């Protein structure tokens, strides 16, 4: 990074913005980070024609506006570097070496897995959101960077191709703006939504901007009058408070118009806001407002006593003026105002390094814990479903019989309420009373309802319940319960089946011996073995015959005889059972390399016994193999047997990667038969052949490699039919 900084004007702009707003940060470090970033992006340009690094600088400026003096050096560095790993040849390891672990892990949290291959775009998007939100649950700074990044991209959307701009605008409207809203960052949310609307419905946007301009000039004098009356009233009662107008938000007005309302019916189009210095003054100011004007009773809301779950606090009241016009007035302290605009960012403290403590999570309605919880309990489609629902829910407040206030999603039913109280209560629900009246479980709750749940020890959840609940919390609990019960049922049945058979055969195995057999059959533990026995994917015979030495049956001798006579068997039978009989010449296909636990199929080959393939191996597909040559085979491996598997790996080129991979494999007690690596353009590709006893072990190996820094993907390599010079199994078939 010698020979003068790139784009010195951008560097100067960044440094002066930092000096002005966040004087406490380490400016030398930030300057060094700027130089590193500018040099990494080199001559890359944004679609606007600006140098790429201008985007990184703008992201920092947005963060400066958001956090001001609370912005820390780590966050500025990570914001500058946020695109370096995704868009340049720099690796995370290099970032870590230069700027430390903390900066690197923030950059990792915002970097998309764009180079990993996914079957469907939805799966890739879900995985990216999952990763991002998991990082966010550990460190809020990840989401600050991501939202600032997206906001600047939205500000420069006009330079993109229309279809791409539209896709980004939709994603912003559907996920990022709601996420900003959920975290209480109203300023960012408003701007994102208005920018999205401008792209997604330009006609409506222009029309709205025009008609709001007209409305405003009509209402301006009137609002000024009301404001002046309020100011006088507040002064007269000795209150120090300011009365101001409210910023307009096109998207929310657009939304209300879409609901069929007209501009005249939207009376909070231009409202007033009173800002005070204490919570007490808010209520005193409310008294002043209601003294001067007649309040509309059902429009009053006290979000100070009951803050929204995005930390928002304010008093809302709508009043009627003398000539019958309605005006909405919001009352809050300056501090509440700051929180209403920046949400969790207002709570961010550098000393906590962006972690969300229990208290903040509780104030957010448990949002962060929820997000971390779905990581375990959902597949990709469910995850996006949960995320969308959680982000778009409006709130509803109801009471317990003891008058405790509970927060639910709009549209919730008594069942949602029951699961909110406790999972045990939810699972045992048989009925509910709302305001003293018995209601069906699908009954939609309303604000202020008092809900009482009727339970029975015999009750239990049912599939249909999924249709009766609205909250992601209840849905997740019910799904979990149903899944668990299915598993419990299978385990109980499988245990009984196996015990009965072992008793009949007078076999008393030790738990350790049974566990070894389970693993040989591709089950990670005994419960899994029992469940598989119940489902029928593992047969009882596969387990019991391990305990009794068997004699060849007549049929077996018949099958084995001719093959041995031909002298073609390479390996005595082992590893599988063929159609219930043991000891036939088998070989394991080299194209797909099956491992105990994989679903398999046997193909009778000419002169070489039976070739065992994975069921999804293309070499076994119908057009390649006639049905009469297929035989059913089951796994029957001894724990000591080892099976070769080819693994393909891709990662960033860094020193010691090969050694690290070899080390983690060996640490798992797995032998490496061959290994090789090649690198090109900062990317390294490798192929390993490892020898494993069963699929559970193979999964451990793959997971361990995947966790190594720099590894982008690792997978089992399927050899395509006749794809290389080696004599493949296509010939054996
Ligand atoms: Mn970016």
Is residue 371 classed as helix, strand or coil in its secondary structure? helix
Q: Give me 643's structure tokens.
A: 């099976």
pLDDT, position 118: 62
pLDDT, position 596: 87
Cα–Cα distances in Å, from 522 out to 215, 594, 611, 699? 71, 11, 20, 11
Q: How far is the CA of 685 from the centre of ligand 1 (A)?
A: 27
Cα–Cα distances in Å, from 570 out to 281, 341, 559, 563? 90, 74, 16, 11
Query: Which mean pLDDT values do the consecutive 10-residue runs of the chain (733 residues) have?
Result: 73 94 92 95 91 96 92 95 92 94 92 66 80 87 95 95 94 92 94 95 90 82 91 95 86 82 73 95 96 88 89 94 87 96 86 80 85 70 77 81 84 94 92 92 89 91 90 87 84 84 84 87 88 80 72 46 39 57 67 87 71 83 71 77 88 80 87 77 82 90 89 80 38 33
Q: CA-CA distance, 213 to 99, in Å (whole number)?
A: 49
Annotated catalytic residue 87: yes
pLDDT, position 585: 67
Annotated catalytic residue 28: no
Annotated active-site residue in 26, 65, 87, 385: 87
Find, among 593, 596, 620, 604, the residue nearest to 690 by Cα. Answer: 593
Q: Mutual orientation of helices 162-171 and 141-155 as an angle, nearest 10°?
A: 140
Q: Calculate ∠ Cα 95-100-106, nearest 5°.
A: 70
Q: How far is the CA of 132 from the centre of ligand 1 (A)?
A: 14
Cβ-based neighbours of 136, under 8 Å, separated by 6 or more: 109, 142, 143, 146, 368, 371
pLDDT, position 378: 66
pLDDT, position 348: 83
pLDDT, position 270: 75
pLDDT, position 565: 40
Ligand 1 is an ion; residues with CB less than 5 A from it: 83, 149
Q: How far is the CA of 82 from the centre of ligand 1 (A)?
A: 6
Q: How far is the CA of 56 from the centre of ligand 1 (A)?
A: 7
Q: How far is the CA of 17 from the centre of ligand 1 (A)?
A: 19
Q: Report yes or no: 593 and 644 within 8 Å, Cβ to Cβ.
A: yes
Annotated active-site residue in 86, 382, 653, 715: 86
Q: How far is the CA of 149 from the centre of ligand 1 (A)?
A: 5
pLDDT, position 623: 65
| Sign of the torsion formed by the C-alpha atoms of 36, 40, 42 and 47 | negative
Each residue's pLDDT tens digit, 315-350: 999 999 888 888 899 999 999 999 999 999 998 876
Q: Report yes or no: 292 and 236 within 8 Å, Cβ to Cβ.
A: no
Cβ-based neighbours of 480, under 8 Å, separated by 6 or more: 377
- Count CB atoms within 10 A of the CB of residue 520: 23
Each residue's pLDDT tens digit, 8-55: 999 999 999 999 999 889 999 999 999 999 999 999 999 999 999 999
Q: How far is the CA of 53 from the centre of ligand 1 (A)?
A: 10
H or E element: which one contains 712?
strand 711-716
Q: Calculate ∠ Cα 121-122-126, nearest 5°.
A: 120
- Count CB atoms within 10 A of the CB of residue 714: 21
Q: What is the phi/psi pair of residue 408, to 5°?
A: -130, 175
pLDDT, position 726: 36
| Sign of the torsion formed by the C-alpha atoms of 78, 79, 80 and 84 | positive
Q: How far is the CA of 146 from the centre of ligand 1 (A)?
A: 8
Q: How far is the CA of 445 from the centre of ligand 1 (A)?
A: 43
């Amino acid at each position: 990074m010698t020979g003068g900084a790139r784009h010195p004007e951008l560097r100067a702009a960044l440094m002066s913005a930092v000096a002005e707003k966040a004087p406490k940060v380490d400016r030398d470090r930030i300057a060094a980070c700027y130089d590193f970033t500018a040099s990494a992006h080199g001559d890359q340009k944004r679609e606007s024609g600006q140098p790429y690094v201008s985007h990184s600088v703008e992201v920092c400026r947005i963060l400066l506006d958001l956090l001001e003096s609370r912005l820390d050096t780590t966050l500025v560095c990570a914001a500058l570097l946020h695109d370096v790993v995704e868009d340049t040849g720099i690796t995370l390891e290099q970032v870590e070496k230069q700027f430390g672990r903390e900066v690197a892990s923030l950059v990792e949290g915002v970097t998309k897995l764009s180079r990993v291959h996914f079957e469907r775009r939805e799966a890739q998007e879900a995985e990216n959101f999952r990763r991002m939100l998991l990082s966010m649950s550990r460190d809020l700074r990840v989401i600050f960077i991501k939202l600032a990044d997206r906001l600047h991209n939205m500000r420069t959307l006009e330079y993109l191709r229309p279809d791409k701009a539209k896709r980004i605008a939709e994603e912003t409207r559907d996920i990022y703006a709601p996420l900003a809203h959920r975290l209480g960052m109203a300023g960012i949310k408003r701007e994102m939504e208005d920018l999205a609307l401008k792209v997604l419905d330009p006609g409506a946007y222009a029309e709205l901007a025009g008609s709001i301009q007209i409305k405003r000039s009509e209402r301006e004098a009137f609002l000024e009058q009301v404001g002046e009356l309020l100011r006088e009233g507040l002064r007269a009662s000795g209150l120090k408070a300011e009365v101001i107008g409210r910023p307009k938000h096109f998207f929310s007005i657009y939304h209300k118009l879409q609901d069929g309302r007209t501009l005249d019916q939207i009376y909070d189009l231009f409202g007033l806001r009173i800002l005070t210095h204490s919570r007490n003054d808010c209520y005193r100011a409310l008294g002043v407002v209601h003294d001067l004007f007649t309040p509309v009773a059902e429009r009053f809301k006290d979000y100070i006593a009951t803050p929204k779950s995005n930390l928002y606090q304010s008093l809302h009241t709508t009043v009627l003026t003398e000539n019958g016009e309605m005006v909405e007035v919001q009352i809050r302290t300056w501090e509440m105002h700051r929180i209403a605009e920046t949400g969790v960012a207002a709570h961010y403290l550098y000393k906590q390094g962006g972690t969300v403590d229990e208290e903040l999570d509780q104030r957010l309605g448990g949002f962060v814990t929820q997000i971390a919880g779905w990581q375990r309990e959902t597949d990709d489609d469910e995850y996006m479903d949960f995320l969308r629902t959680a982000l778009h829910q409006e709130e509803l407040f109801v009471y317990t019989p003891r008058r405790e206030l509970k927060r639910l999603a709009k549209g919730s039913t008594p069942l949602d309420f029951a699961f909110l109280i406790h999972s045990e209560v939810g699972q045992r629900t048989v009925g509910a009373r709302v305001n003293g009246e018995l209601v069906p479980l699908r009954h939609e709750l309303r604000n202020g309802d008092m809900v009482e749940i009727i339970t029975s020890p015999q009750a239990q959840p049912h599939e249909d319940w999924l249709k009766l609940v609205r909250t992601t919390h209840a849905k997740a609990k019910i799904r979990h319960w149903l899944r668990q019960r299915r598993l419990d049922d299978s385990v109980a049945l499988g245990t009984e089946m196996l015990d009965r058979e072992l008793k009949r055969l007078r076999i008393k195995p030790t738990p350790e011996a049974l566990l070894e057999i389970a693993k040989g059959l591709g089950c990670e533990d005994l419960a899994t073995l029992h469940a598989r026995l119940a489902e029928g994917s593992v047969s009882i015979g596969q387990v019991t015959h391990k305990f009794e030495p068997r004699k060849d049956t007549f049929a077996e001798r018949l099958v084995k005889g001719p093959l041995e006579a031909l002298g073609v068997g390479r390996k005595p039978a082992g590893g599988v059972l063929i159609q219930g009989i043991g000891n036939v010449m088998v070989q394991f296909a080299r194209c797909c390399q099956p491992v105990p636990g994989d679903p398999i199929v046997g193909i009778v080959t000419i002169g070489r016994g039976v070739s065992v393939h994975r069921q999804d191996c293309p070499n076994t597909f119908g057009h390649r193999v006639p049905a009469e040559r297929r035989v059913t085979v089951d796994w029957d491996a001894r724990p000591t047997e080892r099976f070769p598997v080819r693994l393909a790996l891709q990662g960033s080129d860094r020193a010691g990667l090969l050694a690290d991979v070899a080390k983690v494999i060996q640490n798992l007690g797995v032998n490496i038969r061959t290994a090789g690596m090649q690198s090109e353009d900062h990317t390294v590709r490798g192929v390993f052949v490892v020898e494993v006893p069963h699929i559970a072990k193979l999964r451990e190996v793959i997971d361990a490699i995947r966790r190594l820094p720099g590894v982008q993907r690792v997978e089992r390599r399927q050899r395509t039919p006749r794809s290389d010079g080696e004599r493949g199994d296509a010939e054996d078939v």
